[in-house]
Each structure stands twice: as structure tokens, then as C-alpha cells.
């Protein structure tokens, strides 16, 4: 039996690679001769770099960039490697799958380094700003642009940008400045470097002539799991501004700034980004990357699945096991577990799901079985303390039940 193990990170608990390892132990406890293919997944949010590097045998790179308030921070990004099945039968398969032994089953190291994956939260994320200093009128995505430049310097010619968890509502202008885009103020002078949400209203024009030439030669794909437009009641300022520290008065100012930016982009570049689905992601970084870097906005889990060759890996599988921190109705909008199940279903591969929690109203029929960690006497604190043991046990239980039904 070949089993593809493709879980997401359990947020604030366990990285996707560690989740996959624990699930693999459970599979091999129930079926010692199973062939394991570890394929950690993500949807563009937290853990995307680690998951994709682990799944492809790539490598982590670092760069010194500016955080949302202009202090220096060391951020990392990934260079993807070759997609290689990890796992050999029996005990050797467990050792290889968990990285404990050498052999042909281990992932190949990065050879070309042509595809990079960047998480904007590593440079411009809310976690980098203490709660008392959160102010989207002052925070910038400049560091995200620096991280993209670092990926280009490392030889990337395709860059996947995960844009979850931002501290910013700057419409991607700070990021664009790092890439060489110049914003001209109403006074005819270049705007201050590191534009933030509070500076959008002064923009009078856009000069793209000094943008780094490599940007036009690079495929930039934005892994986005929201569909919010840039402006309006469902836009970046109204929906996400308060989460980033904006008061009601700030939301009004940010909304006006984003609307003004959209009009300047329309005038200067001939692009209408105001109502673009996903443009409001990460405080408008979605719109900014489209306008200033020629990026495309795509469903995060779809991008990750393509990059790690999930469809190819599932094509010869007998079973897939996935999981994420919580299964709820929001999971249906494009989160990892449902995305993996969609791909597997089209290939006729049954999927078991081992989430941290599962809401009562979640449609469990999407999976062949759902075995949450939190059930009965196992509370959330207990599950947070013992995730690997519980993941192993649930996977073994689910696989035994699945094999009995075959």
C-alpha cells in the first residue's frame, strides 16, 4: 500500500513536516509494509516555506530585511528542490521518511534553485509588531520587496509569495519601492521610501522605469486564500484593518488611501485593481503585486500542490492522509485539507483526515474518515501538549478502520 501523507501546519503547535512524520509513524504501526510518501502542504499562510522545502528537498535561505516598522530583521525564504518520493518499505521506509537514514528514498537537494517561495509575514507580518505598536498607518511591506529581491539574487526565476498574516495596509507600495518602483507625490517629488498606509493619499504618479529588470522576467505567483477586493465594505481596510490595530477613524483614512491608490494605478498603468478578487489580501499587497510586479493571484493550496507535484504523487497512491489545525466551514473556502481532498477525489484516491479539531457542522463526508485529536476526554490543552502521540494514534486507528472496510 502506498500512502501519501499531505497535512498542513497545526498553527501554533506543530510544523507540517512534523505532523507528517507523526502520521507516518501511525501508518507504519497499522501497516508495517506501507510505502510512505511524505508531502507536507500549506495554503500560502504560516509554514508555507517550511512545508514546500521539506516536500521538495529544497533549502532554506536567509536575508536581512526591514520589518513593518523599519527595524532590521533576519527573514528566511526557500529554494525548492526536485520532487522525489520519500519512503521505502518497512522499517527502512520509516527511517527514510523521517529523515533518519540515507538512501535513494530521501528527497533530492535543490539542483537548480529556480523556484523560490517567500512568506510576506516573515518580513511584514503582524507577529513582528508588538500589540501596543500596531498601526497600519505606519507599517510597510518594504521588507517583503527586499525578500523578493533576495530570492532573485539567489537565482529564482519563479517566485511563490504567500501573503497571509500581514501587519500592513499599504496596498503593496512599500514592497514596490524595494523593487525599484518610484511613487511621485502631488508636489512632484518622489515619495518617502517605505510607504505605509498613511502615505497613500499623497501619491500623484507612478514611475516604473527603475524597477529591477529581473521582475519582468520572473513569474510571480501570489498564494492567496481570500477573495476580498481592495476597497469597499469587504475590502482590505474595512475587514482586516482592525485586526492590525486600526481604529474606526484609521479605517476611514486607510480606505480613502487605497481608493486613491487604485485610481492612480488605473490612470498610470491602465489596470483596474479595485474590485479584483483577492486584491485586498494582506492589506492590498495582492493588488500591489499584480500592478507593480505583474503577479497573478491564485488559490494558495493549488499553487503549493503544483509546486510539490501532489497530483503526480497521488496518481499511484492507494490512500492519502491529510490534516490541519481545525476543520470548520472556512476550510471549504480553500484551506489545505479540503484542497488536498479535491485533488485526490478526481484521481479516485480515498482521503483520511486527522485534524486538531473538527466543528460539528463541517461536512465530514468529504473524507473517507475524520479523526480529530480533540475528542472525548482529550481537550485542546492536552492535544497541544501531546500532538505527535495523538497524531500517531489517530492515524493508526483510521488506517486500521479503513483496511477493515476494504
Q: Are 45 and 23 in contact (CB under 8 A)?
A: no
User: Would the pLDDT of 47 be above 90?
Assistant: no
Q: What is the 3-state secondary structure (H, E, C) of 308-344?
A: CCHHHHHHCCCEEEECCCEECHHHHHCCHHHHHHHHH
Do 270 and 341 belong together in one domain? no
In a domain, 97, yes or no: no
Q: What is the pLDDT of residue 111?
A: 38
Q: Give the rounded percent of residues in the chain with a pLDDT score beyond 70.
A: 92
Could you tell me the CATH number of the domain that includes residue 369?
3.40.50.10350
Q: Which of 300, 318, 349 is the last residue of a domain?
A: 300
Do 270 and 314 belong together in one domain? no
What domain range is 348 assigned to? Answer: 2-41+310-405
The pLDDT of 379-403, averaged and rounded, is: 96
Q: What is the pLDDT of residue 63?
A: 97
Do 153 and 248 belong together in one domain? yes
State the residue for C-alpha cell 493549488: 302
Collect all residues with Cβ–Cβ distance below 8 Å to 2 and sequence separation of at least 6: 34, 35, 37, 316, 317, 318, 319
**Helix or strand holding residue 221 (H, E):** strand 219-224
Q: What is the pLDDT of residue 162?
A: 94
Do 160 and 192 belong together in one domain? yes
Of 405, 400, 398, which is closest to residue 371 (Cα–Cα)?
398
Could you tell me the CATH number of the domain that includes residue 244?
3.90.1510.10
Query: In the chain, how many domains are there?
Result: 2
pLDDT category at 45 given cuts 50, 70, 90 is confident
Instruction: Return phi, psi of residue 60, to 5°.
Output: -90, 135
Q: At what angle do helices 248-269 and 281-293 cross, to 10 degrees?
A: 10
Distance of CA 338 to the CA centre of its chain: 15
User: Would the pLDDT of 224 be above 80?
Assistant: yes
Check residues 55 and 153 and name the one with the higher pLDDT: 153
Do 317 and 289 belong together in one domain? no
Of 338, 326, 327, 322, which is closest to residue 384 (Cα–Cα)?
326
User: Would the pLDDT of 96 be above 50?
Assistant: no
User: Would the pLDDT of 107 be above 60?
Assistant: no
User: Would the pLDDT of 91 be above 60?
Assistant: no
Do 284 and 353 belong together in one domain? no
Do 389 and 259 belong together in one domain? no
The pLDDT of 34-63, averaged and rounded, is: 90
Give the separation between CA 367 and CA 377, rounded to whole angstroms. 24
Neighbours of 60 (CB within 10 A): 12
pLDDT category at 94 given cuts 50, 70, 90 is very low
| pLDDT tens digits, one per residue of 123-165 | 999 999 999 999 999 999 999 999 999 999 999 999 999 998 8
CA distances from 267 to 161, 173, 206, 271, 273 (A): 26, 16, 10, 8, 11
pLDDT category at 307 given cuts 50, 70, 90 is confident
Do 208 and 295 belong together in one domain? yes
In a domain, 50, yes or no: no
Do 280 and 322 belong together in one domain? no
Q: Which of 300, 324, 352 is the last residue of a domain?
A: 300
Q: Which of 280, 300, 320 is the last residue of a domain?
A: 300
Amino acid at each position: 500500500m502506498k500512502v501519501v501523507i499531505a497535512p498542513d501546519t497545526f498553527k501554533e503547535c506543530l510544523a507540517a513536516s512534523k505532523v507528517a512524520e507523526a502520521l507516518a509513524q501511525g501508518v507504519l504501526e497499522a501497516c508495517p509494509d506501507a510505502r510512505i510518501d511524505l508531502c507536507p502542504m500549506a495554503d500560502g499562510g504560516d509554514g508555507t516555506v517550511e512545508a514546500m522545502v521539506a516536500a521538495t528537498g529544497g533549502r532554506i535561505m536567509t536575508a536581512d530585511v526591514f520589518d513593518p516598522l523599519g527595524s532590521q530583521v533576519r527573514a528566511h525564504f526557500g529554494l525548492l528542490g526536485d520532487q522525489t518520493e520519500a519512503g521505502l518499505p518497512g522499517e527502512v521506509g520509516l527511517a527514510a521518511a523521517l529523515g533518519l537514514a540515507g538512501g535513494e528514498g530521501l528527497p533530492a537537494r535543490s539542483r537548480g534553485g529556480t523556484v523560490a517561495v517567500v512568506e510576506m509575514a516573515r518580513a511584514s507580518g503582524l507577529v513582528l509588531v508588538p500589540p501596543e505598536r500596531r498601526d497600519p498607518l505606519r507599517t510597510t511591506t518594504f521588507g517583503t520587496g527586499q525578500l523578493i529581491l533576495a530570492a532573485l539574487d539567489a537565482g529564482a526565476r519563479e517566485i511563490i509569495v504567500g501573503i497571509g498574516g500581514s501587519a500592513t495596509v499599504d496596498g503593496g507600495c512599500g514592497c514596490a519601492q524595494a523593487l525599484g518602483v518610484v511613487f511621485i507625490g502631488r508636489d512632484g517629488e518622489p515619495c518617502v521610501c517605505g510607504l505605509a498606509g498613511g502615505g497613500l493619499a499623497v501619491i500623484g504618479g507612478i514611475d516604473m522605469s527603475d524597477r529591477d529588470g529581473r521582475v519582468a522576467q520572473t513569474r510571480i505567483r501570489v498564494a492567496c486564500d481570500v477573495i476580498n477586493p481592495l476597497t469597499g465594505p469587504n475590502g482590505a481596510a474595512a475587514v482586516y484593518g482592525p485586526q492590525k490595530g486600526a481604529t474606526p477613524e484609521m479605517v476611514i483614512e486607510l480606505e480613502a488611501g487605497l481608493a486613491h491608490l487604485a485610481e492612480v494605478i488605473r490612470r498610470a498603468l491602465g489596470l483596474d485593481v479595485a474590485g479584483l478578487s483577492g486584491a485586498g489580501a494582506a492589506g492590498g499587497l495582492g493588488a500591489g503585486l499584480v500592478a507593480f510586479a505583474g503577479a497573478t493571484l491564485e488559490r494558495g493550496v493549488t499553487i503549493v500542490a503544483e509546486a510539490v507535484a501532489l497530483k503526480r504523487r497521488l496518481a499511484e497512491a492507494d490512500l492519502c492522509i491529510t490534516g490541519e489545525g481545525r476543520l470548520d466551514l472556512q476550510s471549504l473556502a480553500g484551506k489545505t485539507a479540503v484542497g488536498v481532498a479535491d485533488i485526490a477525489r478526481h484521481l479516485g484516491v480515498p482521503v483520511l483526515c486527522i485534524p486538531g479539531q473538527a466543528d460539528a457542522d463541517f461536512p465530514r463526508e468529504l473524507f473517507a474518515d475524520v479523526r480529530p485529536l480533540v475528542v472525548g476526554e482529550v481537550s485542546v490543552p492536552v492535544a497541544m501538549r501531546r500532538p505527535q502521540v495523538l497524531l500517531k494514534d489517530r492515524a493508526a486507528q483510521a488506517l486500521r478502520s479503513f483496511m477493515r472496510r476494504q
